[in-house]
Amino acid sequence: MSTATGYRPRRSVLYMPSSNERALEKAKTLPVDGLILDLEDAVAPDHKTTARDNACAAARSGEYGQREVTIRINASGTQWHDDDLAAACAAGPDGIVVPKVDSAQEVLGLVAAMERHGAPEHTRLWAMIESPAAVLCVGEIAASSPRLAALVIGTNDLVKELGARHVPGRQPLLTSLSLALLAARRSGVAILDGVYNDVTDLDGFVAECRQGADMGFDGKTLIHPGQVGPCNEVFAPSPAEIEDAHALVAAWDAGAGSGVVTHRGRMVEHLHVEIARQVIATAQAISDRG
Ligand SMILES: CC(C)(COP(=O)(O)OP(=O)(O)OC[C@H]1O[C@@H](n2cnc3c(N)ncnc32)[C@H](O)[C@@H]1OP(=O)(O)O)[C@@H](O)C(=O)NCCC(=O)NCCSC(=O)C[C@H](O)C(=O)O
Ligand SMILES: [Mg+2]
């Protein structure tokens, strides 16, 4: 999320099928901010149990360094959900990602179940917003529990449920994306954009990253290692932005006491200084990750 204190980079968050041991191994070497070890759509029914065991072992391993490790369990109401949730709580990842969350009541039920299963305090809930029902009550979902750390947009399911099409510029999704962003910002939870399915189309991918970053998303969910580097770059402040932020703060400090100054021809008020300080803090947090 984008607060000056406690900022945790979540520029790039990579899904991987937890049935794919090669991918789980490779993830230890990728410059990704977070991982979603998937038990849901990327895992065939016959492999669900193996995937669950692999994901829990990976979460326990401590071998993923500073990367935030989450497990995406199967949705409420599926035959795997209860066992997934119990196993994930016992493994204690940084987050448990729950797909197809449709109401604030569902979040409260999930949080109660996490407590019943003894999930450690650091294990937070990440709710996926990927249906019309979820979008229409996303404000209530985002505000429902202090255990909720992030909203994750599921654009594939959303496109399916809307009867929409994947088109450049994502016009059919903009209302849903904006409502989710408003909800996340009002409640102070992080928000991650959906995935880009064509792993061979780097230009299209970067354009969609830029759109998400311009809208205010903290980062983007990814499906392939080749998407990590470009995504990190788009969601980080650029060297020019960092330089400008330092210069703006210096201009403000030089005009101490006045409510408004100019910097490089632009009006600067206190809120612009806050934004500049946020850019500097974000850049520092990213650089501290090494
Ligand atoms: C999309 C893929 C199936 C492509 O796989 P593949 O053809 O094997 O890719 P490459 O040969 O280019 O792979 C090169 C190496 O990179 C590793 N790899 C590939 N993908 C990943 C990954 N996601 N994480 C880690 N490592 C990965 C390969 O193992 C190769 O390694 P090596 O041989 O050692 O060099 C595949 O990328 C894939 O499965 N991606 C993830 C799919 C997924 O998790 N989907 C579920 C979430 S998407 C979604 O639907 C979100 C939401 O619910 C919604 O509704 O929108
Ligand atoms: Mg989905």
* Angle between the N-to-C axes of helices 239-254 and 270-288, in degrees from 0 to 180, rounded to the nearest 10: 140
Protein residue closest via CA to atom 25 of ligand 1: 23
pLDDT for the residue 3: 41
Query: 105 and 163: one domain?
Result: yes
Given 235, 255, 278, which residue is the final one in a domain?
Answer: 235
Using pLDDT thresholds of 50, 70 and 90, give the confidence band for residue 7: confident
Q: The domain that contains 153 carries what CATH number?
A: 3.20.20.60
What separation in Å is there between the alpha carbon of 154 and the centre of ligand 2? 5
The whole domain housing 74 covers 12-235
Parallel, antiparallel, or unpaired: how do β-strands 219-222 and 190-193 relate?
Answer: parallel
Query: 43 and 65: one domain?
Result: yes
Given 235, 257, 277, which residue is the final one in a domain?
Answer: 235
Question: Residue 255 and residue 243: Cα distance in Å, rounded?
Answer: 19
Q: Tens digits of per-residue pLDDT, 109-157? A: 999 999 999 999 999 999 999 999 999 999 999 999 999 999 999 999 9
Mean pLDDT of the chain: 96
Q: Classify residue 2: in a domain, yes or no.
A: no
Protein residue closest via CA to atom 28 of ligand 1: 23
Q: Does the beta carbon of 51 lie inside 6 Å of ligand 1? A: no
Question: Residue 66 and residue 198: Cα distance in Å, rounded?
Answer: 28
Query: 63 and 176: one domain?
Result: yes
The arithmetic mean of pLDDT across residues 224-246, rounded, is 97
pLDDT for the residue 1: 40
Using the predicted structure, report yes or no on whether residue 2 has a pLDDT greater than 50: no
Q: In the Cβ-directed half-sphere of 268, how many Cα atoms lie within 13 Å?
A: 26
Q: Does the beta carbon of 193 lie inside 6 Å of ligand 1? A: no
Q: Which residue has the tokens 């909203």?
A: 151
Q: Tens digits of per-residue pLDDT, 237-254? A: 999 999 999 999 999 999
- Residues 6+ positions from 158 with CB-CB distance below 8 Å: 129, 130, 131, 135, 164, 173, 176, 194
Q: Does the beta carbon of 15 lie inside 6 Å of ligand 1? A: yes
Question: Residue 153 and residue 281: Cα distance in Å, rounded?
Answer: 26
Q: Classify residue 79: in a domain, yes or no.
A: yes
Query: 114 and 149: one domain?
Result: yes
The arithmetic mean of pLDDT across residues 165-170, rounded, is 97
Query: 230 and 243: one domain?
Result: no
Protein residue closest via CA to atom 40 of ligand 1: 223
**185 and 254 Cβ atoms separated by less than 8 Å:** no
pLDDT for the residue 5: 46
Task: Count the Cβ atoms, other than its own, within 10 Å of residue 217.
Answer: 26
Q: Does the beta carbon of 194 lie inside 6 Å of ligand 1? A: yes
pLDDT for the residue 115: 98
What separation in Å is there between the alpha carbon of 183 and the centre of ligand 1? 30
Model pTM score: 0.96
Q: Classify residue 5: in a domain, yes or no.
A: no
What separation in Å is there between the alpha carbon of 223 and the centre of ligand 1? 5
Q: What's the structural domain count of the chain?
A: 2
Q: Classify residue 183: in a domain, yes or no.
A: yes
Q: Classify residue 137: in a domain, yes or no.
A: yes
Query: 56 and 24: one domain?
Result: yes
Please name which of 193, 141, 184, 233 lies closest in space to residue 15, comparing C-alpha atoms. Answer: 193
pLDDT for the residue 112: 98
pLDDT for the residue 6: 65
pLDDT for the residue 162: 98
Query: 87 and 141: one domain?
Result: yes
Query: 195 and 249: one domain?
Result: no
Using pLDDT thresholds of 50, 70 and 90, give the confidence band for residue 66: very high
Task: Count the Cβ atoms, other than its own, within 10 Å of residue 161.
Answer: 17
Which among 223, 227, 228, 231 is the best mutation to test ligand 1's pocket, defined by most ligand atoms within 8 Å of the CB? Answer: 223
Q: Does the beta carbon of 87 lie inside 6 Å of ligand 1? A: no
Query: 174 and 262: one domain?
Result: no
The arithmetic mean of pLDDT across residues 163-175, rounded, is 98
Query: 54 and 98: one domain?
Result: yes
Q: Tell me what ipTM this predicted complex has.
A: 0.98
Given 217, 235, 253, which residue is the final one in a domain?
Answer: 235
What is the signed CA dihedral for 238, 240, 243, 245, rounded to 10 degrees? Answer: -70
Identify the bridge partners of residue 161 per DSSP, sorted by sequence position.
none
Question: Residue 12 and residue 193: Cα distance in Å, rounded?
Answer: 10
Q: Classify residue 231: in a domain, yes or no.
A: yes
Which among 224, 227, 228 is the best mutation to test ligand 1's pocket, defined by most ligand atoms within 8 Å of the CB? Answer: 224
Report which residue type is found at 120: P
Query: 252 and 212: one domain?
Result: no
Query: 17 and 150: one domain?
Result: yes
pLDDT for the residue 4: 40
The arithmetic mean of pLDDT across residues 19-28, rounded, is 97
SS3 186: helix
Q: Classify residue 4: in a domain, yes or no.
A: no
What separation in Å is there between the alpha carbon of 164 and the centre of ligand 2? 15
Q: Tens digits of per-residue pLDDT, 45-56? A: 999 999 999 999
Q: Classify residue 6: in a domain, yes or no.
A: no
